[in-house]
């Protein structure tokens, strides 16, 4: 079912850790096109747009029949790039879907949208999954989240939270890994991008902490997900292996 929702995919060419990441190919398609097609297949959006600051990405989008817009290259984050695209468009819900999530499933996206319509008190909805290993719990590259009894986020951290009193007693069942995809009410996104970065966001380098700091309510959605976010050359090799070469 299509709602009054838009999906924006921020895609920068000059990624620090993996240059030209959106245009790297998996099988026969660039990563950003995998993401775009998953959003389209969800049937949850009136519009799906790739937001970029690079003509190479815009030209690739056009080649594959994907809609794109050029945005200001000086944006400090993907959220700011998304806001530039949507601020003058009339949508209730805005999804920020990173251009490095080629394995995202259409069902996760449609579930996020339906959650926002069902949960009126939520300003933001975001997917989480169960931790797969202790190594993942301890990794600084994964964001962990602690939730309340109603599934609202209490805190996100790169540290293993909750932190056990006894050393090395990590039970995977108690840990949730955050997937960096967000469905915002439009005014919540505006509030988010117009707010200064608080110290907790700077310390953890996790932008979702700005939302909590400002009192926005983040509803988490538990999903089954085995895909990979592509941030580094190692992730890209892993993704190629995930697809069988």
- pLDDT above 70 (res 1): no
What CATH number corresponds to the domain at position 45? 3.90.550.10
Residue 50 · residue 67 · CB < 8 Å: yes
Q: How many domains does the chain have?
A: 1
Convert the pLDDT of each residue in 131-181 to its tens digit.
999 999 999 989 999 999 999 999 999 999 999 888 778 888 899 999 999
Query: What six digits make up the tokens of 120?
Result: 């009126």
- Containing structural domain, residue 215: 5-242
Give pTM, 2 decimals: 0.93
Q: SS3 for 105-151, per residue?
A: CHHHHHHHHHHHHHCCCCCEEEEEEECCCHHHHHCCCCCEEEECCCC
Q: What is the pLDDT of residue 227?
A: 82
- pLDDT band (50, 70, 90) for residue 2: low
Q: What is the pLDDT of residue 231?
A: 81
CA distances from residue 237 to 16, 101, 229, 232 in whole angstroms, order as listed? 17, 14, 12, 9
* Burial class for 205, CB neighbours closer than 10 Å (0-12, 13-18, 19+): exposed
Residue 158 · residue 204 · CB < 8 Å: yes
């Amino acid at each position: 079912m299509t709602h009054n929702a838009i999906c924006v995919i921020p895609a920068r060419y000059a990624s620090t850790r993996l240059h030209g990441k959106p245009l790297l190919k998996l099988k026969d398609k660039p990563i950003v096109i995998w993401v775009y097609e998953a959003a389209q297949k969800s049937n949850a959006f009136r519009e799906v747009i790739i937001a970029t600051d690079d003509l190479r990405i815009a030209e690739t989008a056009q080649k594959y029949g994907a809609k794109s817009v050029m945005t200001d290259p000086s944006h400090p984050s993907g959220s700011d790039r998304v806001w530039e695209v949507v601020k003058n468009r009339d949508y209730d819900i805005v999804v920020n879907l990173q251009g490095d999530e080629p394995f995202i499933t259409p069902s996760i996206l449609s579930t996020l949208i339906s959650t926002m319509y069902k949960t009126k008190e939520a300003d933001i909805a975001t997917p989480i999954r169960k931790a797969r290993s202790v190594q993942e719990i301890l990794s600084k590259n994964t964001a962990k989240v602690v939730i309340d009894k109603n599934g609202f986020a209490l805190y996100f951290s790169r540290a293993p939270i909750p932190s056990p009193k006894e050393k090395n007693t990590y039970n995977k069942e108690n840990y949730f890994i955050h997937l960096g995809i967000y469905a915002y009410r439009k005014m919540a996104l505006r509030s988010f991008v117009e707010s200064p970065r608080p110290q907790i966001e700077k310390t953890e380098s996790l932008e979702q902490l700005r939302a909590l700091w400002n009192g926005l309510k983040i509803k988490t959605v538990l999903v089954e997900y085995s895909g990979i976010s592509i941030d580094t050359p190692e992730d890209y090799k892993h993704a190629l292996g995930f697809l069988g070469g």
